[in-house]
Amino acid sequence: MISILDENFTQLNTFIQKLNPTQLLILVDENTHEFCLPILLGNLETEIPFEIIEIEAGEEMKTLETAAQLWEILTEFKTDRKALMINLGGGVITDMGGFVASTYKRGIKFINIPTTLLGMCDASIGGKTGIDHQFLKNIIGTFAEREEIFVYPDFLKTLPFAQLCSGFAEMLKHGLIADKKHWQDLKNLPELQPENIFPFIETSMKIKENVVQQDFREENIRKTLNFGHTIGHALESLFLKNSTPILHGEAVALGMICETQLSFLQNLLSAEETEEIIAGILKFFPIISIAQFTDNEIVDLMKNDKKNAAGSIKFSLVTSIGKSTFDVSVLPENILQALNFYKNLG
């Protein structure tokens, strides 16, 4: 279930009352601790004991070391299997919190209260939890479904513009792979402001939720959600390794441009729609220089993508706006052409 919270968080309080956990564990980073936790606590109506657990903000925190620290904290709190983890934050918090909750004592219940656009429209949905290891994105993780997602759109007003853009990339992706009208609505927005995006959040969430319900463990159609991510994740990992991290949505936007061109090179997408998609993405996302990375570095990381099979890099590509396919094996020279296409855009 996905619930849009009212001003009093009535749905959340009703849920907690019915579940009646032994303990609440509220996971935050320093940003959500400052801007979002006071709103949550101000509306939380329960006598159930709770603990606040804070980690530093940033993708750099999605590590085994952080997970181990959180497991130790839960042990110190004598957390039992009837406790409830509340993940209050963006994608890092929901990924990390879900992973820790799903593995501690073989699993405790957790809910997600996403505070970023990326968290609302992507990371909090679908039961994928994960951490990075050796600069490889989400290489360790579980499939573990949250009990519920509670969305409070006003949290977006606390976001820096860059974070708003980051989540918007995933919304564009949802339109490109599954809903042409959603893509057109988003593409035609005059500018990225929370009030402009609010009306489309629930649609984007439902697109992803619908795909996930058909294929929870990502054996077929769910792979379409990875459009833009094979190249995007590789470059995101390289920037992270260089200690110059870019936001996930920036990497996905970059990846979608490359993989749109790749769809064209594979004769899956028309020239007209290729041009429309790339122009639509560039309207909101400026070119990021990737000149410091060699083609071999990028391709080597793509070989670690979780969708690969038998040593072959598998892509999820678009066949027209609003339609997509998956498990596409592409010509190696087309990958290089797509990367060079992006480099030449700058």
Positions annotated as catalytic residues are 106, 128, 170, 208, 218, 222, 226, 229, 233, 248
Backbone angles phi and psi of 79, in degrees to 5: -65, 130
- Read off the tokens for 94: 């929901």
**Tell me, what amino acid is at 1?**
M
Residue 306 DSSP one-character state: T
Residues 141, 86: Cα–Cα separation, whole Å:
18
Q: How far apart are CA 197 and CA 202, in angstroms?
A: 10
Beta strand 314-320 pairing with 323-329: antiparallel
Q: How far apart are CA 111 and CA 119, in angstroms?
A: 13
| Integer Cα distance of 95 and 45 in angstroms | 26
Sign (positive or negative) of CA dihedral 134, 136, 139, 140: positive
